[in-house]
Structure 1
Amino acid sequence: MPNARDLLAPQPHCPDCEVAIGQPHVEGCDVARCLRTGLQRLSCERKHNCGNDTWSGRWPGEADCERLGWMIGPGLPDLNRLLTEATWNPATRQWDARA
């Protein structure tokens, strides 16, 4: 069984578009997020500029789950809870727990 710390370790390249950490995702990448909604950029149907999301080395929302303490188990962020119980803050580009 892998070490829980290894599960959340930064990955050097995006699993879809293969850009390196700190580089903007390429058009059509299904990992990239809309910086206005926090949701998947590829599926964003709003008529706005989604911004240029960059690969952080971690799956979108993992760091927010860790920060909020929303983990299913060691190394397993509760991304479903994040999307149902948090609000996207476009100014800080992170998910915040609803009051």
Structure 2
Amino acid sequence: MNTHTDASPPQPFCPDCEAGIGHAHREGCDVARCLVTGLQRLSHDAESCRCPRDTWTGLWPGATECAEFGWMLGPGLPDLHRLYTAATWNPALRRWTRPGHHTPTPEGITR
């Protein structure tokens, strides 16, 4: 689902590392996420986590889910704090899921 209600329009380049849409963030990028935890990649242990590099989508990580869940502080201002504290990261889908909602994985297993 790709709804951008009240979300900012896509930006062609990452505001930190300038990766283009669909391209991997550069190492050391503040915007890149760990695809295992959904949190900032800079704060994960690169030695123990060998997740693939995150790609720039044109939107701040989590903004799409905030708009989808109705968790906006105002037009174009996703409530990322609420997302990170109330939602659950699904590494198989590489997205945040609403609390209490079971989300099927690509393999068809409900989590």
Compute the TM-score of the two structures, normalised by the length of structure 1.
0.88
What is residue 91 of structure 2 aligned with on the other side?
Answer: 90
Following superposition, which runs of at least 4 residues in structure 1 exceed 3 angstroms of deviation? none
Q: Percent identity?
A: 60
C-alpha deviation, 1:23, in angstroms: 0.3
Give runs of aligned pairs for residues 19-30 of structure 1, distance below 5 A. 19-30=19-30
8 Å contact from structure 1 (residues 16, 31) kept in 2: yes
What is residue 15 of structure 1 aligned with on the other side?
Answer: 15
- Aligned-partner residue type, residue 68 of structure 2: R
RMSD: 1.6
What is residue 104 of structure 2 aligned with on the other side?
Answer: none
- Aligned-partner residue type, residue 25 of structure 1: H
8 Å contact from structure 1 (residues 13, 55) kept in 2: yes
What is residue 106 of structure 2 aligned with on the other side?
Answer: none
Does residue 82 of structure 2 align to residue 81 of structure 1? yes
Distance 1:68 1:96 in 2: 9
- Aligned-partner residue type, residue 61 of structure 1: G
* Runs of 5+ consecutive residues of structure 2 not aligned to the other structure: 101-111
Compute the TM-score of the two structures, normalised by the length of structure 2.
0.79
Distance 2:87 2:10 in 1: 23
How many pairs are equivalent? 95
